[in-house]
Amino acid sequence: MTITGGCVCGNVNYKIEGKLRDARSCHCSRCRKTFSSQASAYAEVAPEEFEWVSGGDLLTTYETGEGFGLQFCGQCGSTLCGTYHGEVHGITLGCVDGDPEVEIGMHIFVGSKAAWEVIPDNVIQFQEGPPT
Ligand SMILES: [Zn+2]
Ligand SMILES: [Zn+2]
Residue range 82-117, pLDDT digits in tens: 999 999 999 999 999 999 999 999 999 999 999 999
Least distant ligand from the CA of 77: 1
Least distant ligand from the CA of 58: 1
Topology of the domain covering 2-19+42-104: 2.170.150
Find the farthest-apart pair of alpha carbons in the chain and give their distance in angstroms, rounded.
42
How far apart are the CA of 127 and the centre of ligand 1, in A?
34
How far apart are the CA of 78 and the centre of ligand 2, in A?
17
How far apart are the CA of 34 and the centre of ligand 2, in A?
9
- Which residues make Cβ contacts (< 8 Å) with residue 30, sequence separation at least 6? none
Q: Where are the domains of the chain?
A: 2-19+42-104
Contact 37, 28 (CB under 8 A): no
Task: Determine the average pLDDT of the residues in 3-24.
Answer: 98
How far apart are the CA of 39 and the centre of ligand 2, in A?
7
* % residues pLDDT > 70 (the chain): 100
Residue range 72-85, pLDDT digits in tens: 999 999 999 999 99
> In this model, does residue 65 exceed pLDDT 90?
no
Buried b / exposed e over 121-131, threshold 16 CB at 10 Å, is eeeebbeeeee
Contact 12, 58 (CB under 8 A): yes
pTM: 0.92
